[in-house]
């Protein structure tokens, strides 16, 4: 076997899993709530896309902190998850959703809780089949989000699983 042949094959099969060769992973946190609204607790209007502004990992540049949009680079199954800490200044319903191309994902993506002046973390994780260029957002519906400047309590991730 020639060295050229080995060098051509090795990158395509490294790790024995094609998912290792898809450059797609984003891990983000919420430090300010929104560059335009730094109030704490953060309580934007219903339908507002949550912009996770602290980006720890953004392989493939798939997440935009300025828009809050994750864009799938290739067709496949993706894992999408988030955890948000409910604000504690009011007795209210807290509701956050995962949206695909501007529409709520119908497989129970809502995270909902009614709390009585308590900080409660709400989280969810979903596997979603996406086409290349599909867009995922985390959308605020109601309630409050308690903000910590280092993003410790509020985070999201987007990960390619496979074709």
- Residue ranges of domains in the chain, CATH in brackets: 21-162 (2.60.120.40)
Which pTM does this prediction carry?
A: 0.76
pLDDT in tens, 56-79: 889 888 999 999 999 999 999 999
Using alpha carbons only, how large is the chain's radius of gyration in Å?
Answer: 18
Give the tokens for residue 121.
């973390």
Is 159 within 8 Å of 22 (Cβ atoms)?
no
> How many C-beta atoms lie closer than 10 Å to residue 93's C-beta?
13
pLDDT band at 47 (very low <50, low <70, confident <90, very high): very high
**Which residues on adjacent β-strands are paired with residue 136?**
70, 100
């Amino acid at each position: 076997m020639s060295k050229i042949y080995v060098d051509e094959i090795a990158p395509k099969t490294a790790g024995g899993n094609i998912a290792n060769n898809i450059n797609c992973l984003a891990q983000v946190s919420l430090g300010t709530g929104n560059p335009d609204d730094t109030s704490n607790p953060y309580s934007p209007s219903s339908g507002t896309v949550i912009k996770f502004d602290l980006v720890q990992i953004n392989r493939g540049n798939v997440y935009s902190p300025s828009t809050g949009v994750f864009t799938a680079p290739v067709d496949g199954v993706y894992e999408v998850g988030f955890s948000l800490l409910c604000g504690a200044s009011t007795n209210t319903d807290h509701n956050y959703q995962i949206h695909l191309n501007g529409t709520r994902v119908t497989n129970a993506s809502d995270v909902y809780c009614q709390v009585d002046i308590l900080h409660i973390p709400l989280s969810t994780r979903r596997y979603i089949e996406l086409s290349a260029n599909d867009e995922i957002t985390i959308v605020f519906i109601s309630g409050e989000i308690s903000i910590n400047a280092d993003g410790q309590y509020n985070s999201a991730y987007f990960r390619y699983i496979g074709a």
